[in-house]
Structure 1
Amino acid sequence: MSIRLICSDIDGTLLQYGKKELESEIFEQIRELHRRGILFCPASGRQYTSLRKLFAPVADCCVFLCENGGVIYKDEQCIAKNPMPRALAEEIANDLWTRSDGQGEVMLSGQNTAYLMERGLGMLKRIQFVGNNYQIIHDPSEVPEEITKVSVYLHESVESYTERFVPRWKEANCAVAGPYWIDTTFANKGIGVRSICKTLDIDLADVMAFGDNYNDVSMLDIVGVPYIMDGAAAPLREKYPNHTPRPEDVLREFLKQN
């Protein structure tokens, strides 16, 4: 096995919740990996604009897995896209909106724009915080392009709504994506990683990946070297033997030994 691609979830893994900028060490590590012919892949539910801003100093050294695998970018070009069936995406959006007891706000993701159905509960501020392109809408039918992901933002916590939505929309890979988000998509991070590997002729066994949440499982399950964060839920820590508090710690040792 020879590592050729390193994928990392962002929020809760490489970037702690509430922080806006990455530590400088990861940029140095990504540059060194690139010099050695190893590609780095931010793998996130965020859109491309947000990810590219976050990784601006090393963007040319990265391939970007955006919208949980719904959109893949390399060299500023979309190289793969996995949209949802339109009717299903609209049905899910309406369900998340109406069955969240007035406590949920809905985001529909296009290729590089977030379409927001908001109630003033904080979603808009979070989208502005991460630097997404966005547009306010009042109905899912107003989205003028293919939809790659539908999410509900629950401003108090996802806990009270996980059982309500995750089993119901299993066909759309419904999963908890953080303390406040539940996502649905016809892609997932595993599908995104497979798309990247197929396009770039990389064996899945030659991929290392880092994650901290249930929406990372599809990615962690297929790569040769999966790592789970120390702060992940207990079932995830039990599932994967490799644990770390920070991806940078693992990458530092990897670069020393290789």
Structure 2
Amino acid sequence: MSKKPVGHKARKRFGQNFLQDQGIIHRIIRAISPHPTDHLVEIGPGLGALTEEILNAAGDLDAIELDRDLVPILRTKFFNYAEHFRVHQADAMKFDYTSLCDDQRPLRIVGNLPYNISTQLIFHLLSYNKQIADMHFMLQKEVVERLAAKAGEKHYGRLSLMAQYYCQVENLFLVPPEAFNPVPKVDSAIVRLTPHKQLPFVARDVDQLQSVVKTAFNQRRKTLRNNLKELISAEALESLEINPGERPERLTLQEFIRISDFLCEQEKGITSVYE
């Protein structure tokens, strides 16, 4: 196992847990499978546990690091790769990823994401789905389960639906707490998100779809009739061949799109194609 260099203590406010298990690092690199023609982006490189392995295989790497004290450490550690390695001291939640697209290559995103912002960050990255080839993230195990969950499963919800609207989601493997320093109190997992080249199901208005999904899951123990009553009547749900007595976790992505499209049509005064 590699050791954390003296002089930088993991900061709780940044959600820092430094990966140190070489076996896990090599397994992650095999899953990513970087190539010399690839343009990778690493979010939260920390002390560079994955960075060196990526640089040895990939063509170009941009690293986005919030902690300003880590930026000079990374630049010094990887100065031999200066032609292909750039560090951006920035907030990944606010970063404009299109600024990195200086050629025809799509971005490949990787990162050990802080647990406290992982969901919000993934939603932010999904808005760049057309510029991204794939994403490999280390996340809290429960977040990966939510991303990959199917209709009817315990972890299925808003994150599952919107991630799967844009991407194919693969839950790859677990990472134990002892792979990190300091040791977190939760298990982690590696997930692969691959944006669809062509969306399998297309909503008329994605913002409307997100609103419907968010409203439906505000109180997930209640039925669609109760949760969506301000948006759509029980009779209208039935006309869409959706049972208003179902709980939201029972509905597929296609069915949520059906509700969303119906509301778009109603707003425009169009007769529903489902009637």
TM-score (norm 1): 0.34
- Which structure has the larger Rg over C-alpha atoms? 2
Q: Flag the structure with more relative contact order, 1 or 2, with Cα contacts below 8 A and sequence separation at least 6.
A: 1
TM-score (norm 2): 0.32
